[in-house]
Amino acid sequence: MSNEELREQLCMIGTSAADFAAARGGPQRARRVHEGASAFDPKTWRAIAGLGWFGIAVPEADGGLALGAAAACVVAEEAGRALLSEPLATGMAAASVLAAARSLRPADEALQALLAGEGHVAMACAATADRGEEIFHIGLVPEGDAASLWLAVRGDGADFEARLLRVGSPGLGLSVRAAVDGSRLADARVERAAWFDAPRILQGAEGASIWSRGLRLAWLADAAALCGLADAALKLALEYMRLRHQFGVPIGSFQALQHHAADCHVDATASRALVHEAARAADSPRGNWAAAAAIVRASATALRVTQEVVQFHGAIGFADEHDAGLYLRRAMALGARHTRSALARLQESARL
């Protein structure tokens, strides 16, 4: 496929994704989630699966679209722009990992369920152990136990292993809490016996490499979503600055506000360029480093831009009833998912 054909394909994917995300998401739904409604809609989840988004980075032989990280970022950017609350990035990343382990029946069954939109597979990394009796995992779930499976990993190098943990199994406990935007976070506490009873689908250095590629895709997709929501938030502020008058003129004519808006535009544009360049470099030797840089930069940019957007609206922007705060809260929740692990990757690369 030529570069021109690829651009046309990505443009069509983006248009389709924008229409779908606008119909299923938007500030009104984000507000309902913030006020306590579920962040996970099974109908929307199945509709996303019907569009093939979960298989966007899965080989065609495994039932996917094989479009790669660049297409995943185009879709995720539009989802972020519309504040779509379903954990799209996790779904795409988990599918790519499961596809690589499809020769094992548990992985294949989980992959088919995910591609059909019949389940959600959360990704969880080991955080710590408690008195040598239990393994503590932390991850993100859409709504309580809506994640039917946890793709959980521990160790590194030759000691790396990934297992599929089924929610509700004996020895697996969940501690769920609300994020600032109303989505749900969960910690999983796994007894050692339950861990070793769960099917192992990846192990060793090869398994660690497969997991790393999946994590890279999650970083890139969430980075693109952050770029999308930052752009949408800035457009909301610019429209307000055109309509709001003070001293007989639009406040957008004030030079101080123009400078701040220009800085936000440059920052958002640069972050978006970095994300999409990192997506094109996803399969290169520096792919992990590029993806880590993309999510760190996009997180910082989205947080800065959405904070400025609240300021642009003046006192009304600080009111909980205004939409400006929805973008800020989503930026805070989404950016916090990966920042620590991505920064660790960047520090590791700097030492090499």
- What pLDDT was estimated at residue 113? 94
Which residues lie below 8 Å from residue 300, measured CB to CB, with a gap of 6+?
335
Same domain flag for 54 and 99: yes
Which domain covers residue 289, as residue numbers?
206-351
Same domain flag for 214 and 326: yes
- Assessment of whether the complete model's pTM goes beyond 0.85: yes
- What pLDDT was estimated at residue 142? 55
End position of a domain, from candidates 84, 115, 146: 115
Reported as a single tens digit per residue, the pLDDT across 216-241 is 999 999 999 999 999 999 999 999 99
Provide the pairing of β-strand 121-130 with 149-154. Answer: parallel
Between 21-35, 99-113, 185-199, 244-258, the lowest mean confidence (pLDDT) is in 185-199
CA-atom Rg of the chain in angstroms: 20
Q: At 331, list the tokens.
A: 């930026």
- What pLDDT was estimated at residue 130? 59
* Domain total in the chain: 3
Same domain flag for 35 and 150: no
- Comparing CA positions, the residue from 233, 339, 301, 276 lying closest to residue 73 is 276
- Comparing CA positions, the residue from 134, 141, 155 lying closest to residue 202 is 155
If pLDDT is split at 50, 70 and 90, which confidence band does 138 have? low
- Which whole-number Å values give the CA distances from 143 to 53, 56, 78, in the listed order? 20, 24, 22
Which one-letter DSSP state was computed for residue 199? P
- What pLDDT was estimated at residue 238? 97
If pLDDT is split at 50, 70 and 90, which confidence band does 135 have? low
Same domain flag for 92 and 45: yes
Name the H helices within the chain.
3-24, 27-34, 42-50, 68-81, 88-100, 105-115, 192-197, 204-243, 255-280, 287-312, 324-335, 339-351
- What pLDDT was estimated at residue 344? 65
Which one-letter DSSP state was computed for residue 318? G
End position of a domain, from candidates 205, 220, 255: 205
Same domain flag for 146 and 220: no
Q: At 189, list the tokens.
A: 């506490």
If pLDDT is split at 50, 70 and 90, which confidence band does 347 have? low
Q: Give the CA count within 13 Å in the CB-facing half-sphere of 257.
A: 20
Q: Which percentage of the chain shows pLDDT scores above 90?
A: 72
Same domain flag for 210 and 344: yes
Same domain flag for 193 and 287: no
